[in-house]
Amino acid sequence: MIAKEAINIILILFCFSLISCKVSDDGDNISHTTSWIGRKVEFPQELLLLNGTKFLPYKKLKNQLLKGETVVSIVDASCTSCILDHLNRTDSLFQHLRDEEDNVIFILNVKRNDSASFMVSIRPFIKAKGYILWDSNYYFERSNDVITSSIINRTFLLNTYGEIILIGNPLYQPDLMDVYRKALKDMK
């Protein structure tokens, strides 16, 4: 009986590893994203601020959120791994790199059909201190033309004018840690 339970647990873990997020560049790297440098980023009014279990209209809080330099990271919140391995860890990393006046904003892509399930089963795993903007239809990526399948290139730094000045996630590219630290310091 114990052997059967062990096999079931191994099969479940194997299935989770097959469907969980993977860090890959998929050939969608520097050549595609370098055109983003200098691009002004807009935050569409359709975004909602996720505050615990409540949603607040983002446009009312826009000025408060976009003061100072801003790190933006786009997360497809389709699995627990995306939250635990990407969102929470990326947030923790940038909380150590930034000053208090700098912001960390996560664009959380959650399909409308998955919203209720997400709120019940995955949202409780969010431990991030950064702001979380709920995007139910890829509004942010489409309106700013920053669509990429590469989890590495879905994190970038905005200057005080809202322009992209740095692309990449030091969580997956450790050499960027010092680059982000210097960029945040130099903009002061």
Residues 6+ apart with CB under 8 A from 160: 68, 69, 187
DSSP string, 27-53: T-SHHHHGGGTTPBP---TT-EEEETT
Q: How far apart are the first and last CA of the chain?
A: 63
* Per-residue pLDDT reduced to its tens digit, 7-54: 545 444 444 443 444 444 444 444 457 789 999 999 999 999 998 888
Residues 39, 144: Cα–Cα separation, whole Å: 8
**Number of domains the chain is built from:** 1
pTM: 0.81
CATH number at residue 117: 3.40.30.10
Residues 16, 93: Cα–Cα separation, whole Å: 25
Residue range(s) defining the domain that contains residue 83 = 2-186
Most confident listed range (2-6, 57-61, 85-89, 182-186): 85-89
Higher-confidence residue: 101 or 166? 166
Structure tokens at 102: 């700098």
Mean pLDDT, rounded, of the chain: 81
